[in-house]
Amino acid sequence: MGVHLLLISGSTRPGSTNTAALRTLQQVVPQGISTHLYNELTTLPAFVPGDGPSPPPVARLRQLLAEADTVLFCTPEYAGLIPGSLKNLLEWTVGTADLHTKPVAWLTVATPGRGDGATASLRTVLGYVGADIIAPACTRIPILSADVSEDGTVPNPEIRTHLATLAATLSEALAHPEAKPRHPPTP
């Protein structure tokens, strides 16, 4: 049985380098890994606490999270943090513990010195919800807008190799959960 990887881009912008990285990763994953690129971020209603039934887009998100063996986030930085749309997605997972103990990682495509606020805030929220952060898979692979082709993927062979390695690292971490380092959930 293979590994099922859910890919979540924090960007809603057409032509996003974050989304392009995840689309490209889908093309280069090693055998035995299946992927699903979540592209419904803009359909999620604003989070409202309560015990009522989940709106259909939220129920769909929860289904995808439940089916995933691991989740890979790739997000831009807006105003020094993760975008509000991604924070909204994460807020929908708090009360139902959808990410509690779920293996997760993140990919930063910003050039060094940029995007660190988004990474820090994502780490905080994922720790708060009790996600199992796979440290070796949390990485930076810089991608510029000029690296993205018209089909929304990255043809650069070096970047594609790094993305394939990232997918393999996630798969290996799931195959050997006793291996560390992982970040324990933040109390």
Average pLDDT for the chain: 92
CATH classification of the domain holding 13: 3.40.50.360
Residue 17 has what pLDDT?
97
Count: domains in the chain:
1
Find out whether 153 and 25 touch, Cβ atoms under 8 Å: no
| pLDDT of amino acid 179 | 56
Write down the pLDDT at residue 186.
Answer: 41
% of the chain surpassing 90 pLDDT: 84
Helix H, strand E, coil C: the string for the chain is CCEEEEEEECCCCCCCHHHHHHHHHHHHCCCCEEEEEECCHHHCCCCCCCCCCCCHHHHHHHHHHHHCCEEEEECCCECCECCHHHHHHHHHHHCCCCCCCCEEEEEECCCCCCCHHHHHHHHHHHHHCCCEEEHHHCEECCCCHHHCCCCCCCCCHHHHHHHHHHHHHHHHHHHCCCCCCEECCCC
* Domain extent for 69: 3-183
pLDDT band at 106 (very low <50, low <70, confident <90, very high): very high
Looking at the predicted structure, is the pLDDT value of residue 178 above 90? no
pLDDT greater than 70 at residue 105 = yes
Query: What is the pLDDT at residue 184?
Result: 44
For 31-87, the pLDDT digits (tens) are 999 999 999 999 999 998 887 889 999 999 999 999 999 999 999 999 999 999 999
